[in-house]
Amino acid sequence: MIEAAARAALFSLDPETAHGLSIAALKTGLVPGLGLRADPRLRVQVAGLDFPNPLGMAAGFDKNAEVASELSRLGFGFVEVGTLTPKPQTGNPKPRIFRLVRDEAVINRLGFNNSGHAEALRRLTTRTKAGLLGVNIGANKDSPDRINDYVDGIRVFAHVADYFTVNVSSPNTPGLRSLQSRESLADLLARVLAVRDAQDRRVPVFLKIAPDLAEPDLDGIAAECLAQQIDGLVVTNTTLSRHGLTDLNSASEAGGLSGKPLFERSTIVLAKMRQRLGPGVPLIGVGGIGDAETAAEKIRAGADLVQLYTGFIYGGPRLPSRILRGLSKICDREGLATVLALRDTRTADYAGRPLPA
Ligand SMILES: Cc1cc2nc3c(=O)[nH]c(=O)nc-3n(C[C@H](O)[C@H](O)[C@H](O)COP(=O)(O)O)c2cc1C
């Protein structure tokens, strides 16, 4: 009841104001601890890290690293903060987030609004640590050397991050996604991994890719990731496609689409990457997860771990614990000793599908 009222109140506000209130509510620490008991069948050990469960908060919710520990207390096994850029930047003019309620989707064109490395670092070094922390790094819009911005991110956060995500897939920074081309990626990964290797802690580095890539693009990314022995991929960011939307009013807004309508596309790309990379490379599946069944389906398509953001807007603070309970029930139902027994059971099916228009 209270939750339904809270959601109605938040949905009566402009989405960015509502987001600010959610962050403020989390900061008070008043959001209830949910008394969830850890299920050992949900533990996932990949990239040298021990995840208490496979469900993470995706990048973009906690751009400035303000509430990572509070989000962990809601049940998330890991939280990815950012995207963080070296210098603070304000992003695009408002309004720049749009809810498509009927489609359980969002379009955003924020453009990496964030408070910059220094402020986020201060927060992360003084916080009470709870849960695993990913730091998602990006480049300033006006940067003269974008690759150097990623290199800076690794240097700055190497002693606080459990893993890094190199985000080259936001559609809202002009030209950023061209870093996914094989030639640019070769240079980017070489420089990022070299600076990572020069730190005294070895922090795994993941690459986050777009869902709007054709088969030859996926070939090039997979080959380069294998050649440079990247630690994993996050698949996928938001899409420029408007396929499957019924809310045609907001559909014409520019920006990246997330939520339910992204599920099929991002899951197909995930499975195609699993096939190209083989069983050994960790994959984080993200895009359109809204319940335990969609989370499990990402794992069946090839994910070791999953993340969500838009589902949290529609599902509220109890969604992570609901999903974890649901994953435990799937383990009960199917007699699984570990949730990862689901992995790759439907990879061939998804990988064989054409990408929606
Ligand atoms: C409002 C909003 C802001 C986002 N900002 C970022 C970001 O800064 N960096 C990033 O890598 N992804 C960002 N994303 C993408 C999400 O991390 C995720 O990849 C995408 O939304 C698909 O997952 P979902 O359908 O569960 O939302 C953002 C998404 C939304 C909705």
Alpha carbons 189 and 86: distance in angstroms, whole number: 18
- Exposed e or buried b per residue across 199-234, where buried means at least 16 C-beta atoms within 10 angstroms of its C-beta: eeeebbbbbbbbbbbeeebbebbbebbeebebbbbb
pLDDT classification of 44: cutoffs 50, 70, 90: very high
Tokens of 196: 């990572």
* CB of 311 sitting under 6 A from ligand 1: yes
Considering only CA atoms, which residue is closest to atom 21 of ligand 1? 258
* CB of 211 sitting under 6 A from ligand 1: no
* CB of 258 sitting under 6 A from ligand 1: yes
Distance 107 CA to ligand 1 centre (A): 10
Catalytic annotation present for 241:
no
Contact 160, 135 (CB under 8 A): yes
Distance 237 CA to ligand 1 centre (A): 6
Looking up tokens 């064109």, which residue turns up?
A: 109
Considering only CA atoms, which residue is closest to atom 4 of ligand 1? 60
- Exposed e or buried b per residue across 124-151, where buried means at least 16 C-beta atoms within 10 angstroms of its C-beta: beebeeebbbbbbbbbbbebeebbebbb
Distance 258 CA to ligand 1 centre (A): 7
Distance 310 CA to ligand 1 centre (A): 8
Express as a percent the part of the chain with pLDDT over 70: 98
Considering only CA atoms, which residue is closest to atom 6 of ligand 1? 60
Distance 56 CA to ligand 1 centre (A): 12
Residue 136 pLDDT: 98
Residue 356 pLDDT: 78
* CB of 136 sitting under 6 A from ligand 1: yes
Residue 165 pLDDT: 98
pLDDT classification of 180: cutoffs 50, 70, 90: confident
* CB of 97 sitting under 6 A from ligand 1: yes
Residue 170 pLDDT: 87
Cα separation values, 100 from 142, 236, 264, Å? 31, 20, 17
CA atoms within 13 A on the CB side of 58: 25
The distance of Cα 48 from the centroid of its chain, to the nearest Å, equals 19
Considering only CA atoms, which residue is closest to atom 7 of ligand 1? 60
* CB of 60 sitting under 6 A from ligand 1: yes
Ligand 1 atom showing the smallest separation from residue 114 Cα: 8
* CB of 287 sitting under 6 A from ligand 1: yes
Tokens of 296: 């499990």
Residue 33 pLDDT: 61
* CB of 285 sitting under 6 A from ligand 1: no
pLDDT classification of 130: cutoffs 50, 70, 90: confident
Report the C-alpha dihedral over residues 222, 218, 42, 136, rounded to 10 degrees.
80
- Given 170, 250, 266, 328, which residue is catalytic? 170
* CB of 109 sitting under 6 A from ligand 1: no
Distance 83 CA to ligand 1 centre (A): 9
Phi, psi (deg, nearest 5) at residue 166? -90, 110
Tens-digit pLDDT profile for residues 69-100: 999 999 999 999 999 999 999 999 999 999 99
- Which residue intervals of the chain are DSSP H helices? 2-11, 15-28, 68-73, 116-126, 146-157, 182-197, 215-227, 248-251, 263-277, 292-301, 310-315, 319-334, 347-351
Distance 336 CA to ligand 1 centre (A): 31
Tens-digit pLDDT profile for residues 200-235: 999 999 999 999 999 999 999 999 999 999 999 999
Is residue 132's pLDDT more than 70?
Answer: yes
Ligand 1 atom showing the smallest separation from residue 15 Cα: 1
